[in-house]
Structure 1
Amino acid sequence: MLSVSRICLKRVLWVVAGLVLLATGNAQESPNQTVYLAGSGNTALDQHVQGLLQERLGNNVTMLPIADEQIPMVENTPVVSIGPSAFSRVRQANRSAPVLAMLVEKSFIKGFAEIAPGQISGVFYDVPLLRQALTGKAILPHANTIAILATTNSVELYEPLIDQLPAHEMSARVFVVDSNEDLIPSLVRALGYGDFLLAAPDDAIYNPRTIKHILLTAYRRNKIVIGPSQAYVKAGALASSYAPFPAMADRGAEFLNQFFATGKFPEPAYSPVFRVEVNYQVARSLNIPVPEREYINQSVQDELTGNGGPAGE
């Protein structure tokens, strides 16, 4: 009777041991890190960014969408926010949550990151102004004067660019737009000065209500507009550098892995890679011979690295 009990006990122990090993194996195979995703509300965009990040993070990290009511409960788990509105929702709901902001401009996220270094970071969606200026220079090699439109609130954003341009044998002048009525007169003065107009991500000046008037005015004066994004190239700007989504995802995954390793994000940064979009139809209409996009991009990179590195980036 005793020997039978011992045999049964041994069998039970073997079963328990097997279950423990199985559980351990499953735990090793399951993701060991979690990232929450606060979406922009654009389902296709959110899924695209999530897919790119997940591909780069691998199977040891799982990304979970997070609802607004769940955000206050986040403690040490990183949250990826897509777009400025998503970041604002997360920040307002939980000021201690670690947040990596994607698809935000430098001017938007820089201040938050300075207040909470290591906790708040981001991958800039916009392009360094120097790179945009050199994109115009690569298309118009003899260009040396750049016209810029700004409001009184945004004029200071262009001071670093103005200081950087002499190293590249260029200069810039800012034309201040004081009111909506002053936009076209200021634009006409700017086009009379510059070899091209450098458009920056300044929503007060470049927006759906104004862009048509700006582009038509430049076109009628046989002047090109560079920047501020791919969307404006499709609307009629001649060219713009931009950060491709896969490259921004590369940097985002890099930042998340650093957070997992150290508990802190690095400082916000630009994409490690840029490309150039060109509207060749506009170029033909203005009778401007434009090189291939790859040539323009390489020329910009050569100019940056040939002058002490990618300044301003």
Structure 2
Amino acid sequence: MADKCKRAHSYCRDWIGRILLVIGLLQTPAHATDLLLSTAGDTSTLQHFATALAAARPDDQVRIVALNEMPPLEQIDSDTRMILFGQAALAWRLNSPAGPPTVVLQVSKTLAHETFGERQPANLSVLWQDPAPSRQLRLLKRLLPQVRRVGVLHDVHSEFLIDELRQAAGALNLEIVAQKWSDTRDNQTLTRLLSASDVLLAVADDHLYNPLTAKTLLLTSYSQQHAVIGPSAGFVRAGSLATTYSDQSDWLATLNNLLNKPSDSWPKGTYSNTFKVLSNPQVARALGIELPDNEELARQLSKGETP
């Protein structure tokens, strides 16, 4: 009887051990993913992002390699997931269509379009830095419900954005009034556009919206009591009314979602899944506009997002 009990106890122990082993295998990834971060210039700027990414994905290996120290793209393991930052890194990645699946951050849609031409590889996805046009237009409509004609300046670099803006505007009963601004020293172009529109929506085109043009754009717009929406948090601090924007936590969440999916399902380009709102109370007071709380405004706008 004692021998039978011992054999039964040994059998149960072995069976429990097998069950625990199976459970452990189910809970542990088959292998860690190698996440390779790189940028041109000083890689110390990536350290905070890499630390946050490693915390979000403890089962993966996160490492940083300077762009000028990267091996040829063809020699990087196809199981690696490259995460590149900036236009220079994007241009480097385009040197070969044979590199591993890659996500590029810190590039606006205009700069990405300018860099790509017709060369975007199938295994490359860009998280555009600029805010989604539909969000900007919904923000505009929320703050200025009476406006109908939305003025948009563009040049050869950003002209392709107009179709996307018109499609988003149509769903909101807004009209896009587009004007090409070939010479930013020509203030008459801006004046004509303001006369034909109710508000100025600034797109993320550094050729048009930069420190050299900011003063002219803002002062001319406000002299005609026209608000400026966008294109970035920096421009709001300089004097535009408001914008949606995404910070590191938003980009980490969006990137994490992509990395959880097969790379062949990644979109060629996408905006951040989440966002925040920044507004300028001083400008709002000058224009007689009542501003909701930024966090509440972001929550209201999020309700209109497509999952």
TM-score tier after normalising by the smaller chain length: 0.7 to 0.9
CA distance in 2, matches of 1:156, 1:253: 29
Where do 1:120-159 residues align within 5 Å? 120-159=124-163
**Conserved? CA contact 1:81–1:100, under 8 Å:** yes
Q: CA deviation at 1:296?
A: 2.5
Identity of aligned residues (%): 26
Structure 2 CA distance for partners of 1:100 and 1:112, relative to 1, 3 Å? farther
Structure 2 CA distance for partners of 1:87 and 1:186, relative to 1, 3 Å? same
Residues 84-136 of structure 1: per-residue CA shift (max 9 Å, x gap): 222223433x542222101222344465897322x211222111112112211
Aligned to 1:248: 251
Aligned to 1:294: 295
CA distance in 1, matches of 2:256, 2:119: 21
**Conserved? CA contact 1:34–1:64, under 8 Å:** no
Q: CA deviation at 1:67?
A: 4.4
More helix by share: 1
Normalized against structure 1, the TM-score is what? 0.78
Q: CA deviation at 1:279?
A: 1.0
In structure 2, give the amino acid aligned to 1:281: Q
Structure 2 CA distance for partners of 1:112 and 1:154, relative to 1, 3 Å? closer
Q: Does 1:87 align with 2:93?
A: no
Structure 2 CA distance for partners of 1:81 and 1:45, relative to 1, 3 Å? same
Where do 1:215-254 residues align within 5 Å? 215-254=218-257
Aligned to 1:270: 271
Normalized against structure 2, the TM-score is what? 0.79
Where do 1:43-122 residues align within 5 Å? 45-72=45-72, 73-76=75-78, 77-92=80-95, 94-98=96-100, 99-109=102-112, 111=116, 115-117=120-122, 119-122=123-126
**Conserved? CA contact 1:75–1:96, under 8 Å:** no
Counterpart selection for 1:199 from 202, 212, 234: 202
**Conserved? CA contact 1:226–1:239, under 8 Å:** yes
**Conserved? CA contact 2:94–2:121, under 8 Å:** no
In structure 1, give the amino acid aligned to 2:249: P
Q: CA deviation at 1:207?
A: 1.5
Q: Does 1:41 align with 2:41?
A: yes
Higher RCO (CA-CA < 8 Å; seq separation 6+): 1
Q: Which moved more, 1:53-62 or 1:170-179?
A: 53-62
Q: Counterpart of 1:223 in 2: which secondary structure?
A: coil
Please report the RMSD computed on the Cα atoms of aligned residues, expressed in angstroms: 2.6
Q: Does 1:210 align with 2:208?
A: no
CA distance in 2, matches of 1:142, 1:263: 44
**Conserved? CA contact 1:103–1:123, under 8 Å:** yes
Structure 2 CA distance for partners of 1:248 and 1:169, relative to 1, 3 Å? same
In structure 2, give the amino acid aligned to 1:231: G
In structure 2, give the amino acid aligned to 1:46: L
Aligned to 1:186: 189
Aligned to 1:176: 180
Q: Counterpart of 1:180 in 2: which secondary structure?
A: coil
